[in-house]
C-alpha cells in the first residue's frame, strides 16, 4: 500500500523526462526541414523578414505552383526512372551474386568477397573522371540509361554484402528441401530464398534508392541536357547565379523528400523481420 | 520405388573420414534404418544419396541408374528433414503441393488439389491446410513434412531423424504410424536415427555405423541378438551390456566361462561352443542374458546390490562371489530386496561372445 504511490510517481517522472528529451532531439533533428517547409509556404517578400515566423502569416502555394509551371514533373520523372532502374538492376544482379557467394563453392570465392568489400571503400569522387570517360566511350553520356547503370555499379558492392549476410542467415535445409522437391538452384532462389529475404532486399533496396534519388555529384557530371536532369540537379538550379530563390528552392527540396519518406514508411515493417519463423524447428 | 546401392563409397571432409568404403545394398520396398552415434557417417550416407554431398569415391545407384553426378532435383527422391524444413511463407496446402508444382512433375492443377487433400486426410491435417507452419504444433509440423514427401511417388523416401523433435509419447505413436505408412505404400525408405528403439521397431533391416564404417547390416533380430561385434552389441540395447574377458572351457556343446576369480557355468547347450575352444574371449551379458534361478546346479551365486524398478520389469543388479557386477531383468511382480542372495543362470541363447583382439563376434549359437 505504502510503496505503490511512490512507484507510480517515479514511473511518471521517468516517462515525462523521456518524452521531454525525445521531443528535444526530434526538434533539433527536424528543425531544418520544418524551417524549409515553413519557408516554402511564404510569399517571396516575407521569407527574409525579421523577426522570422515559423508559421507563415500569409501562407501561399505560389512557390509550388511556380515549380509546376516551370516543369518540375519532368525532373521528378527522370529521378524516378533512374532510381527505380538502379534499385531493380542492383537487386537483380546483387541477389544472384550474393547467392552464389553464400551457397556455391567455387575457386576464388574468398578473394571475390574481399574485392567486394574493398570496392565499397573507394571514394566516389575519385571515380568520376574515369567513369565519365568510360561512359563517353560507350555513348551513354547524357542519358538516363547511363546514369542508372552507374548507380547500379556504384551500389552493387553494398547490395551484395547485405544480401550475402542475409542469405547466410537463412536455414539451408529449406533450400535443400526445395532442391529435393524438384527445383533447380535458380528456381530455389526465386521461390524460396528471395521470398524469405524481404528484410534484406528492403534494406539494400533502400540504400540504392536513397543514393540514386539524392545523388547530385554524379548526375551533374554525367548529364548536361535539360531533358535528362534529375531532381537534385534541378533544385541546385534555384541557387541562381545572381541570387537565391529561397521559395522555389525550399519547395522543391520538400517535394524531393516526400517520396523517400513515403517509401520508408511503407517498407519499415519489413525491418521487423520474423519472416522465417516457424519454418525450421531448432 | 527402387533399390538403392552404395558401392565402395567414401567421403572425406578435409582429413576427417566421414564415410569409408561403404558397401550397402537396399532392396526395393525395404525399410532400412541407418543407426549410429553422431559422427558415425549415417547422415553423410543419407546426404550422399540425396545429392546434397558428392562422393569422393565409389558409385551410388538408385535402381539401375548411377546418380553420383545427378543433381538432387533430378534424383526423384523425397526427404523429411529433422528440422522439418517447412517453407514458412507458404500455407500447409502450398507446402504439400510444392513438389507437385515443380516444373519436372507437371501435375495438372485439379489433380494437385485432389492429391494434397488426400494426403492431408491420411495424416489428419486436412483442417490445417490454410494455416502457416508457425501456427502448427511440433507434431502437426512433422505430419506436414511427411505429407510433402508422401504427396509424390518418389523412388526412395529419405527420413533424417524425423521424430527426434517430438515428445516421448508422440514419438512412439509416430513409429507405429510410420510403419503402417510403409506397409501401405510399400515404398523404399531409408531412415536415419540414433535411437535404437526406433530402428529396432520399424526396420526390415538396420545398418549400424561407427566412425564412418558400416559395422553390421541385418534384421532387427540379428542386430540385437547376433551383433557382429562389440560396438554393435554395446550400442544396441536399452542398457549397457556387461563385458568381461574370460577363458572358455568347452566340453562337447556345453560351456563354462572361467574368469580369473571364478567359474561361471552356462546352463544348457550351446551348439557353437566348440568355436570357443582355447579362446580368450570377451563375453557379453545383457540384462536378458541372465535369469533368476531356483536350482543350484549350473547357476551363479550372487548378492543383490541394487534394485531398479523399470515399469513392467525390475532390473536387479547383483555382484558375484568373484566381484563381477551383473544385471538381470525380472518380472515387475518379483519380490526382491537389496542385500539378499540370489542365483543367476546364463541363458545360452542370449550369451554373446567376441574375439578379444578384433571384437568380432564368435558364432556360439551354431
A9 in the same domain as A136: no
State the complex-level ipTM: 0.83
Report, at the CATH architecture level, how domain B242-355 is classified.
Beta Barrel (2.40)
* C-alpha–C-alpha distance, residues A63 and B288, integer Å: 96
Give the residue from A22, A40, A60 where a domain finishes. A60
Answer whether A192 touches B (CB < 8 Å): yes
A171 in the same domain as A127: yes
In a domain, A277, yes or no: no
DSSP lists the bridge partners of residue B193 as: B35
Residue A277 confidence (pLDDT) above 50: no
Terminal-residue alpha carbon distance, chain A: 45
A248 in the same domain as A125: yes
* C-alpha–C-alpha distance, residues A191 and B99, integer Å: 12
A79 in the same domain as A53: no
**Using a CB-CB distance cutoff of 8 angstroms, which residues of chain A are in contact with residue B71?**
179, 184
CB-CB under 8 Å, A178 with B98? yes
B82 CA: distance to closest CA in chain A (Å): 8
Answer whether A276 touches B (CB < 8 Å): yes
Answer whether A134 touches B (CB < 8 Å): no
In a domain, A186, yes or no: yes
Q: Is the pTM of this model over 0.90?
A: no
A210 in the same domain as A90: yes
In a domain, A280, yes or no: no
Name the fold adopted by B4-224.
Answer: Rossmann fold (3.40.50)
What pLDDT is attached to residue A242?
62
CA A224 to the chain's CA centroid: 24
Return all residues near B8 (Cβ < 8 A) that are at least 6 apart: B21, B22, B23, B57, B58, B59
Whole domain around residue A263: which residue ranges?
Answer: 64-272
* C-alpha–C-alpha distance, residues B172 and B176, integer Å: 7
CB-CB under 8 Å, B138 with A181? no
**Using a CB-CB distance cutoff of 8 angstroms, which residues of chain B are in contact with residue A105?**
none
Break chain B into its structural domains and give their ranges.
4-224, 242-355
Q: What is the pLDDT tens value at each position of chain B, 366 positions in all?
A: 789 999 999 999 988 999 999 999 999 999 999 999 988 999 999 999 999 999 999 999 999 999 999 999 999 899 999 889 999 999 999 999 999 998 777 888 999 999 999 988 888 888 999 999 999 988 899 889 989 998 888 889 999 998 888 888 888 888 888 888 888 888 899 999 998 889 999 999 999 999 999 999 999 999 999 999 999 999 998 888 999 999 888 887 778 888 888 888 887 788 888 888 877 889 999 998 999 888 888 889 999 999 998 888 999 999 998 889 999 999 888 888 888 999 999 998 899 999 988 889 988 887
* C-alpha–C-alpha distance, residues A253 and A232, integer Å: 8
Residue B106: strand, helix, or coil: coil
* C-alpha–C-alpha distance, residues A34 and A32, integer Å: 5
Give the residue from A17, A37, A60 where a domain finishes. A60
Domain count, chain A: 2
What pLDDT is attached to residue A276?
45
Phi-psi map region of B58: left, alpha, beta (phi>0 left; psi -120 to 50 alpha): left
Q: What is the CATH number of the domain that holds A268?
A: 1.10.3720.10
A99 in the same domain as A31: no
**Using a CB-CB distance cutoff of 8 angstroms, which residues of chain A are in contact with residue B163?**
none
Q: Nearest by CB to B73, which of A171, A179, A280?
A: A179
A249 in the same domain as A179: yes
- Residue range A49-76: mean pLDDT, rounded: 84
User: Would you tell me how many other CB atoms lie within 10 Å of the CB of residue A39?
Assistant: 23
Amino acid at each position: 500500500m505504502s510503496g505503490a504511490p511512490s512507484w507510480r510517481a517515479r514511473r511518471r517522472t521517468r516517462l515525462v523526462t523521456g518524452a521531454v528529451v525525445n521531443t528535444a532531439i526530434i526538434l533539433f533533428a527536424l528543425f531544418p526541414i520544418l524551417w524549409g517547409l515553413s519557408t516554402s509556404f511564404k510569399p517571396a517578400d516575407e521569407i527574409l523578414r525579421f523577426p522570422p515566423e515559423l508559421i507563415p502569416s500569409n501562407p501561399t502555394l505560389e512557390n509550388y505552383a511556380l515549380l509546376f509551371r516551370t516543369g518540375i514533373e519532368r525532373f521528378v520523372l527522370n529521378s524516378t526512372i533512374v532510381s527505380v532502374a538502379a534499385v531493380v538492376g542492383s537487386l537483380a544482379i546483387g541477389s544472384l551474386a550474393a547467392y552464389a557467394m553464400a551457397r556455391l563453392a567455387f575457386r576464388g570465392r574468398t578473394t571475390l568477397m574481399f574485392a567486394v568489400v574493398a570496392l565499397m571503400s573507394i571514394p566516389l569522387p575519385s571515380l568520376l573522371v574515369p567513369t565519365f570517360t568510360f561512359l563517353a566511350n560507350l555513348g551513354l553520356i547524357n542519358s538516363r540509361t547511363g546514369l542508372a547503370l552507374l548507380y547500379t555499379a556504384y551500389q552493387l558492392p553494398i547490395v551484395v554484402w547485405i544480401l550475402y549476410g542475409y542469405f547466410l542467415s537463412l536455414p539451408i535445409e529449406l533450400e535443400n528441401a526445395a532442391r529435393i522437391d524438384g527445383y533447380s538452384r535458380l528456381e530455389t532462389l526465386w521461390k524460396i530464398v528471395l521470398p524469405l529475404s524481404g528484410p534484406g532486399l528492403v534494406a539494400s533496396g533502400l540504400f540504392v534508392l536513397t543514393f540514386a534519388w539524392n545523388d547530385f555529384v554524379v548526375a551533374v557530371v554525367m548529364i548536361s541536357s535539360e531533358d535528362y536532369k534529375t531532381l537534385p540537379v534541378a533544385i541546385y538550379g534555384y541557387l541562381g547565379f545572381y541570387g537565391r530563390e529561397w521559395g522555389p528552392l525550399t519547395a522543391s527540396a520538400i517535394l524531393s523528400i516526400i517520396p523517400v519518406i513515403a517509401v520508408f514508411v511503407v517498407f519499415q515493417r519489413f525491418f521487423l523481420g520474423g519472416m522465417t519463423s516457424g519454418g525450421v524447428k531448432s | 520405388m527402387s533399390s538403392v546401392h552404395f558401392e565402395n563409397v567414401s567421403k572425406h571432409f578435409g582429413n576427417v573420414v566421414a564415410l569409408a568404403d561403404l558397401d550397402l545394398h537396399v532392396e526395393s520396398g525395404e525399410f532400412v534404418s541407418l543407426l549410429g552415434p553422431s559422427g558415425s557417417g549415417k547422415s553423410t550416407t543419407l546426404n550422399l544419396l540425396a545429392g546434397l554431398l558428392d562422393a569422393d569415391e565409389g558409385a551410388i545407384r538408385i535402381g539401375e541408374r548411377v546418380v553420383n553426378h545427378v543433381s538432387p532435383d533430378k534424383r526423384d527422391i523425397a526427404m523429411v528433414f529433422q528440422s522439418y524444413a517447412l517453407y514458412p511463407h507458404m500455407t500447409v496446402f502450398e507446402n504439400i503441393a510444392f513438389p507437385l508444382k515443380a516444373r519436372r512433375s507437371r501435375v495438372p492443377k485439379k489433380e494437385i488439389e485432389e492429391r494434397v487433400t488426400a494426403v492431408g486426410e491420411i495424416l489428419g491435417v486436412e483442417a490445417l491446410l490454410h494455416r502457416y507452419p508457425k501456427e502448427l504444433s511440433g507434431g502437426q509440423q512433422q505430419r506436414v513434412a511427411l505429407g510433402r514427401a508422401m504427396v509424390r511417388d518418389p523412388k526412395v523416401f529419405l527420413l533424417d531423424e524425423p521424430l527426434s523433435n517430438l515428445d516421448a509419447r508422440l514419438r512412439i505413436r509416430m513409429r507405429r504410424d510410420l510403419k503402417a505408412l510403409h506397409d501401405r505404400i510399400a515404398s523404399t525408405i531409408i531412415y536415419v536415427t540414433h535411437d535404437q528403439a526406433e530402428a529396432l521397431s520399424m526396420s526390415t533391416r538396420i545398418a549400424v555405423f561407427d566412425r564412418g564404417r558400416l559395422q553390421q547390416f541385418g534384421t532387427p533380430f540379428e542386430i540385437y541378438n547376433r551383433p557382429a561385434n562389440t560396438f554393435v552389441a554395446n550400442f544396441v540395447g536399452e542398457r549397457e551390456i556387461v563385458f568381461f574377458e574370460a577363458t572358455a572351457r568347452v566340453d562337447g556343446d556345453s560351456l563354462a566361462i572361467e574368469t580369473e576369480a571364478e567359474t561361471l557355468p552356462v546352463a544348457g547347450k550351446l551348439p557353437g561352443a566348440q568355436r570357443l575352444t582355447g579362446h580368450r574371449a570377451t563375453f557379453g551379458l545383457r540384462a536378458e542374458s541372465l535369469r533368476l534361478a531356483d536350482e543350484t546346479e549350473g547357476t551363479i551365486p550372487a548378492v543383490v546390490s541394487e534394485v531398479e524398478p523399470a515399469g513392467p520389469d525390475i532390473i536387479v543388479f547383483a555382484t558375484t562371489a568373484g566381484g563381477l557386477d551383473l544385471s538381470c531383468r525380472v518380472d515387475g511382480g518379483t519380490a526382491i530386496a537389496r542385500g539378499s542372495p540370489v542365483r543367476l543362470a546364463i541363458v545360452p541363447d542370449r550369451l554373446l561372445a567376441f574375439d578379444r583382439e578384433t571384437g568380432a563376434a564368435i558364432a556360439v549359437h551354431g
